[in-house]
Each structure stands twice: as C-alpha cells, then as structure tokens.
Chains A and B, each alone.
Chain A
Amino acid sequence: MAKLDPSAQKKSDHTANYWLGGLTAVFFSLTIFFAFNSKPHVAAQPEIPLVDKKFLDTSPWRQTYADLVKAKEDLSDYDCYACHDKAKPPRIRYDTNQKIIIPKEHANIEMSHGTHERNNICYNCHNEQNLNTLQVRDGNVVKFDNIPQLCGSCHGPTLRDWEAGAHGRTSGYWDRQLGDINRLSCANCHNPHAPDIPTREAAPGPHYLHEASSHEPSKSHR
C-alpha cells in the first residue's frame, strides 16, 4: 500500500469543500425556486359563455284551446258569435289567383296548409253551422279541444303514429306503471293554418380546448 501524500490529501479536502459549497448553493436556489413555483401551472383557457336560456326552454311552441281551458284563461276570443251572425255563415272570398282573401279581423291568420296552399277552404275544418266547433268532412262535429280526431281524418298514418307515441313530443314516464306520459297535441307544434314547422335559430355548437385542428372544417366556434 502506498503511503498517502499529505499535500494530495489537502488538495482533495479542498475539492470536496468546493463541491459541498456548490451543492448547498444549488439546493438553496432550488428551494427558493420550488417555494415560488409550487402551485401547478394552469394554462389559460378560452372563456366559454354559458348557453342562452332560450335554448334550454322545453315548453311547447304553441298553446292550444285545450291548454287555455286547463289554465282557465280568458276564452272570449274563441266566441265566434260575438261578431258573426249565427244565421249567416261567413262567405269565403278568393282573389283572381284563387288565393284566399283574409279579412282584416283575422289578419293574424297565415293561410298555408297543404301543397301549394291548396287546403284553403275554411269549412274543410271549421263547422259552417256552428263556428265554435270544428267539423270532420264526414259530418262529425269535433270540439276545439279534441283536435287529433280532426287532423287525423286527413292525416291517418300520422294519427296512427301519434297514438302509438311515434309522432310528436312526449315527456314524463316511458314506464307507464311508474308515471304518466305527457303527450302534446297536434296544435302544440303545428299551426293549423300553416302547419309546416318554421325554421329557427340553432343553439351554439361545440367549443374546443384549443383551436380546431386542420381536419375539422370550421371557423364557427367563437
């Protein structure tokens, strides 16, 4: 075994001290660094506005006579004989293009039923003899709160679907033993004088965490 050289020993002591000093400094600076950065860094996210309340509304689009009766609302508007004469059913007038002329008292009515608005004879549905009721073409009188029977007299398959629950809006219980199904009637969605469902505004689409990547063809999220 070689005898240790005292000067070499001293030299290695010095090196160790420098190392230790350096490490201490590194650790201290790390301590300070961690102390100030211990909170996890949260990347800034784009602000996404809450969706407008109108898109969360699930109430029916329209109210029917039956709804008004149920809500005990004012039904005086539905008394035709407040203005009309019972003995004289009102005459329907057409212009030269066979388009119906809507009298100014009924200006709120938009007539657009059937292809090319061909269902333009009021008495196809309204009862000529008693304007407060409706009438199926076979002569059966239908009350205002029983519209499906009237509509179904022409739209048979749709009535069949509706009765089976396959057409129209439902809510409540799918399990009839646990609760009732609430089934909306024809006029809750369709305006009888213009039954096409009108177009409406679409609710906002998806927002992404980051800008949409190139394979998503969009500029719409904003």
Chain B
Amino acid sequence: MSRRSFLRGCAAFGGVTALAASLAPLRELGDYTNTEQFLQKYYKELTPSDMTKVITRIEGEVERQYGIRPHVRDLKPMDGVEFVYALNLTRCIGCRKCVHACVKENNQSRSPEIQYIRVLKMPHGSMDVEKGNHNYDSKQVPEKGFFYMPIQCQQCKNPPCVKVCPVNATWQEKDGITVIDYDWCIGCRYCEAACPYWARRFNFTKPQIPKDKINPDMSYLGNRPRKQGVMEKCHFCIQRTRVGKYPACLEACPVGARKFGNILDPNSEVSYILREKRVFIQLKEEMGTSPRFFYYFDK
C-alpha cells in the first residue's frame, strides 16, 4: 500500500466517521417525531379510520413516556352550540385556583411552568391592563384597593392568531373554540405575536409532567401532552365541554365568578348574564377581535 492511498483511506474514513457523528443528534429526533406522524395528513383531511390510527399512535406514545394508558378522543363540535365565557369581576378574589386547576386538567408542563390563565391584579378605578400586575405574591387576597382580572384565551370571533398561521395549524371551530393541531404546528410563534391577550404559550423545552399528575382523559385538539416546539393555549377544556361538562377553571373557582355555557340557548347562564347583567367589556374591544369571553359586574 502506497503512502498516498493510506492517507487517502484515513481521510475518507475520518470524513465518514465525522459525518456520522455529526448526524448523531438526529437519533434524539425520535422523541419529537416519527415517520408515522411525519406522514400524517392534515387534521381536516383525516378520515375516521385515519383518526383511529392516529389516536392509537398517540395513546402508545403517551404510555411509553408516562407509563399510563390514556383515553384519547377526537371530539367534534356539537350542533347548535356556541360557547361563551362570562367572568364576574365583582366576585373574583384573585386566589389563582383556576390557574392551577387548569394546569392539572390540561396536562401542562410543570417545569418549565406553563399556565394558560394569568390573573391581573388591578388598582381600583381603572381598566387599563398596563397597570395590572400578574406576579403579585399576596399572603391574603383580595387586597384592599385592588380588583382581579383573570385573562386567558378569549376565543375571538375574529381571531388574529388564526390569520397569521402560515400552515393552518390553528383554526376556529363551529362552536367557537380556536384549536391547535399540535402535530401540524411548526412552532413559528407568529400566533403568539399576533394575540393581543398573550394567551398563547410556547414549549421552549420538552414539557415535564410527573407521571402521577397526568390526566388520562384526553382529546386530540385539547389536552394531550405536547411536544417541544409547539404552541398551546386555553381551549375551553375541549375534552370536558364537548361532552357537556363545565370547564375545570369554572369548577375550581371558590366564589363562582366564572360562568360558562351555550349562548345559543336562551335559558343558559351566560344568556341570562349577557341579558340581565352589567356586562362591562370584551377585553381590548377596539382591536375588533370580538372575544367570546365577557367580563361583567354584579353591582
């Protein structure tokens, strides 16, 4: 063997090894995606049998990661239903119980922490959200001279987040809930920038959820565990509300400040509230987003 061919051989071997080594991080990709998911069709193009396969895949993934077999469903909007949320600012005491009930129900990452609801502590006499503080750390709430305004996804009739999505991974459903397909989202965060309510959250790292804290009642567009690099947000607890139940934040509210229901039903609580109560605002009404989330007062 000549010296030249030996050196050539060494160089070629070294090059191939280096290339292989440099591609090694791709092995980790299995955690984020797999062929089946990569080739999955768009949500709206999935046939029922495709959906069954997808759900089986998701159930398997969750079981592998968290050691618990979930019950994943793909719930469709109900006919003649349009959801509306009403929040009583007179009653809210700012205890943040809704925030944590939401985290528990919707399998949000505990570390880094993702919360869909922010409670603004606002000084009396102003509705200027710029004066609000959501980092308050009060030993006792409510504090004198302040009122509390929880903000979450407002489920706009005219959602700016949907308009900016370059891949149509988020859209508004018939019952008014704006949903995200976590398998279709590319994580560009345009929607986060477009939302005037800071309602959307991004998974900067892999979400960490303790195995015993997983809520096994899941839905495809709702609370199934997310991956790193996708957006998520409040979806009015789609896995509960589309089977007729109240959202988790409503049930957790110790003062009954949160009201939810079908606005198309004249006998629902929200219809009563919008008819009878001093419904004060749709937050940032001037943006023209027309939220389905209303704030009202008792007195």
Residues of chain A having any CB pair with chain B under 8 Å: 17, 20-21, 23-24, 27-28, 30-31, 34-35, 38-40, 42, 45, 47-48, 50-51, 55-56, 58, 61, 161, 164-175, 177-179, 184, 189, 197, 199-209, 212, 216-218, 220-221
Whether the pair B96, A38 counts as a contact (CB closer than 8 A) is no
Q: Does any Cβ of A come within 8 Å of B186's Cβ?
A: no
Whether the pair A206, B134 counts as a contact (CB closer than 8 A) is yes
Q: Say whether chain A's binding surface is mostly helix, strand, loop, or mixed.
A: loop
On chain A, the residues within 8 Å of B269 by CB distance are: 164-166, 170, 174
Whether the pair B245, A189 counts as a contact (CB closer than 8 A) is no
Q: Which 6 A-B pairs have the closest CB atoms?
A: A27-B14, A34-B21, A178-B244, A218-B135, A175-B244, A220-B137
Known A21-B7, A169-B253, A169-B254; 5 more pairs at CB < 8 Å: A24-B7, A28-B14, A55-B97, A56-B104, A61-B254
Give Cα distance in the complex from A28 to B17, angstroms. 8
11 A-B pairs in the complex with CB atoms less than 8 angstroms apart = A17-B3, A31-B21, A35-B21, A56-B101, A166-B272, A170-B269, A171-B251, A177-B244, A199-B141, A201-B141, A217-B135
Chain A residue nearest to B25 (CB atoms) is: A40
CB distance from A51 to the nearest CB of B (A): 5
On chain A, the residues within 8 Å of B119 by CB distance are: 205
Whether the pair B25, A38 counts as a contact (CB closer than 8 A) is yes
CB distance from B270 to the nearest CB of A (A): 9
Q: Does any Cβ of A come within 8 Å of B112's Cβ?
A: yes
Give Cα distance in the complex from A197 to B256, angstroms. 12
Whether the pair B255, A189 counts as a contact (CB closer than 8 A) is yes
Count of residues in B whose CB is under 8 Å from the partner chain: 70
Give Cα distance in the complex from A159 to B94, angstroms. 24
On chain A, the residues within 8 Å of B273 by CB distance are: 166
Given contacts A166-B276, A173-B244, contact A205 B136 (CB under 8 A): yes
Give Cα distance in the complex from A220 to B167, angstroms. 38
CB distance from B10 to the nearest CB of A (A): 4
On chain B, the residues within 8 Å of A178 by CB distance are: 243-244
Whether the pair B135, A216 counts as a contact (CB closer than 8 A) is yes
Whether the pair B93, A199 counts as a contact (CB closer than 8 A) is yes
Given contacts A169-B254, A172-B246, contact A202 B276 (CB under 8 A): no
Whether the pair B18, A20 counts as a contact (CB closer than 8 A) is no
Give Cα distance in the complex from A55 to B141, angstroms. 13
Whether the pair A58, B112 counts as a contact (CB closer than 8 A) is no
Give Cα distance in the complex from A28 to B12, angstroms. 11
Given contacts A45-B112, A203-B99, contact A58 B18 (CB under 8 A): no
Chain B residue nearest to A21 (CB atoms) is: B7
CB distance from A211 to the nearest CB of B (A): 12
Whether the pair A203, B100 counts as a contact (CB closer than 8 A) is yes
Q: Does any Cβ of A come within 8 Å of B260's Cβ?
A: yes
